[in-house]
Amino acid sequence: MGQRVAGHRVDGGTIVSMSRLRAQIPLAAALLAIGLVGCSAAPAPTARPAASPEPPPATTPAPRVASGSAPGETFAVGVRQLKLNRDGDRPLPVTVWYPARGGAGDAPRRGATAATGRFPVVVFSHGLGGRPADYAALLTRWTAAGFVVAAPTFPHTSRGTDTNVLDVLNQPADVSYVLDQVLALDTKAGDPLRGRLATDRVAAAGHSAGGVTTIGLFTAGRDARLDAGVVFAGTALGVGTAFAGAAAPQLFVHGEADEVVQYAAGKAVYDAVPWPKAMLSLPDGDHGRALLSDGAALRVVSDTTVDFLRWTLYGDEKARARIPGDAARGGIATLDDRL
């Protein structure tokens, strides 16, 4: 997931031979089925795996965000586009939603004046064949709750590209580059987000292939700036489960009737996380259709993820206490809570 040097690829300081990379291709090629935004109808739910035994007490440090309070208001949403390009050959247009002045509940406004305050940053990775706008129903709810959301469009896995699934393995490095550029706006003279970003409070989230990308940011491609992660319908295929670095709470969201990424695959990654974690399971949920349009399932998912982000990025203990109730609303989901 790094740069190429004379027939090798540099990953986190380790030189990996291209022959070794090619040997990984059959494994990564299985990602071809992952993350299509237009999911087919889900099959009938299969039996849920037996609950895993409670892990031994964690030996990792506690999450590093200090206790505090998340904003109590709901913000209007502004939106802008950034034209980024990593290494000159990886175009990464980024949609940025941010809390803005104005009437809450209105449609996102381009060029709106940013609201007063410093807001944590969440970077979101779309699924294979998707684009950031597909997830606007969820991501604008995060923004209205007081988060800046930056969502890149990946050069080889977004809709309308060559859909080179192996390129998913390069996306954690793309996300880290996007974070470099977005966080730099906080000190950029004349930028509308100057002085508005809490650059020390950052999370990563993603759906399906974007979930793979997000997991990679906490394993082989660990980005030390990340305080938390949210994985929707993800798997560790290609990026592994060697979670590294400081404790970063993780929230997994997965449909038990997922027809693309089996529920058991997501649960296996969740079980491997050594940090505070929770898994929101939707017994009737498919590969993620609930993320794309308003409805009862989206409300449960958005409320649960918002309070998780309020806790992990604002240090809001009241939000942490609300998570079980958010998850239980309507009997749509269950929560394995190890936070």
The number of folded domains in the chain is 1
Could you tell me if residue 210 is inside a domain? yes
Could you tell me if residue 58 is inside a domain? no
| Residue range 234-264, pLDDT digits in tens | 999 999 999 999 999 999 999 999 999 999 9
| Residue range 67-103, pLDDT digits in tens | 899 999 999 999 999 999 999 999 999 999 999 999 9
Could you tell me if residue 225 is inside a domain? yes
Question: For residue 315, what are the domain limits?
Answer: 8-35+73-338
How far apart are alpha carbons 240 and 218 in whole angstroms?
Answer: 10
How far apart are alpha carbons 62 and 230 in whole angstroms?
Answer: 18
pLDDT at 35 over 50: no
For the segment 206-233, the average pLDDT, to the nearest whole number, is 98
Residue 339 CB partners (closer than 8 Å, separation 6+):
249, 276, 277, 278, 311, 320, 323
Could you tell me if residue 53 is inside a domain? no
Confidence (pLDDT) at 62: 63
Could you tell me if residue 158 is inside a domain? yes
Name the β-bridge partners of 78.
Answer: 98, 109
Could you tell me if residue 46 is inside a domain? no
Could you tell me if residue 147 is inside a domain? yes
Could you tell me if residue 57 is inside a domain? no
What percentage of residues in the chain have a pLDDT greater than 70? 81
Confidence (pLDDT) at 8: 33
Confidence of residue 64 (pLDDT cuts 50, 70, 90): confident
User: Residue 328 sits in a domain of what CATH number?
Assistant: 3.40.50.1820
pTM to 2 decimal places: 0.84
| Residue range 119-151, pLDDT digits in tens | 999 999 999 999 999 999 999 999 999 999 999
Confidence of residue 65 (pLDDT cuts 50, 70, 90): confident
Confidence (pLDDT) at 189: 98
Secondary structure of the chain in the HEC alphabet? CCCEECCEEEECCEEEEHHHHHHHHHHHHHHHHCCCCCCCCCCCCCCCCCCCCCCCCCCCCCCCCCCCCCCCCCCEEEEEEEEEEECCCEEEEEEEEEEECCCCCCCCEECCCECCCCEEEEEEECCCCECHHHHHHHHHHHHHCCCEEEEECCCCCECCCCCCHHHHHHHHHHHHHHHHHHHHHHHCCCCCCCCCEEEEEEEEEEECHHHHHHHHCCCCCCCCCEEEEEEECCCCCCCCCCCCCCCCCEEEEEECCCCCCCHHHHHHHHHHCCCCEEEEEECCCCCCHHHCCCCHHHHHHHHHHHHHHHHHHHCCHHHHHHHHHHHHHHHCCEEEEEC
Mean pLDDT of the chain: 86
Confidence (pLDDT) at 212: 98
- CB 129, CB 163: distance < 8 Å: yes
Confidence (pLDDT) at 101: 96
